[in-house]
Amino acid sequence: MAIVAIAGGTGGVGKTIVEHLQHHGAHKLFILGRKAPAESTPESPTFLVVDYSNVEALTILLEDHKIDTVVSAINLETDAGGQSQLSLIAAVLFDYAGMLSAVNN
């Protein structure tokens, strides 16, 4: 079973991705975002509040939740969105490098 995190999973594109993955099952889903949504339902994926400016914290979050797939639906039309995307990429790379290090040692 894939463990998937959708960054920006509460926006228009992100919600569509989440709904599609939920409908087709076989995935454990997390939604990443800056602030928790006001409402959630029992069938909603777990929401993880993240600080996209903290790459180290993002890396730890990915490791702690054993997330193996990250899908980004972050709005890239703003500087903040672009920086969030870069931080998320850096965290994934650090997490991947850590996994390689653990395998090689």
Residue whose token pair is 């969030």? 84
What is the pTM (predicted TM-score) of this model?
Answer: 0.82
Say which CATH number the domain at 91 has: 3.40.50.720
For 37-95, the pLDDT digits (tens) are 887 766 789 999 999 999 999 999 999 999 999 999 999 988 888 899 888 988 888 76
Where does the pLDDT of residue 104 fall: very low under 50, low under 70, confident under 90, or very high at 90 and above?
A: very low
- pLDDT recorded at residue 1: 82
User: Which pLDDT does position 105 carry in this prediction?
Assistant: 37
Domain range spanning residue 39?
2-104
For 28, the enclosing helix (H) or strand (E) is: strand 27-33
What pLDDT score does 17 carry?
95
Helical ranges in the chain per DSSP H: 12-24, 55-64, 79-104
* Number of domains present in the structure of the chain: 1
* pLDDT recorded at residue 100: 40
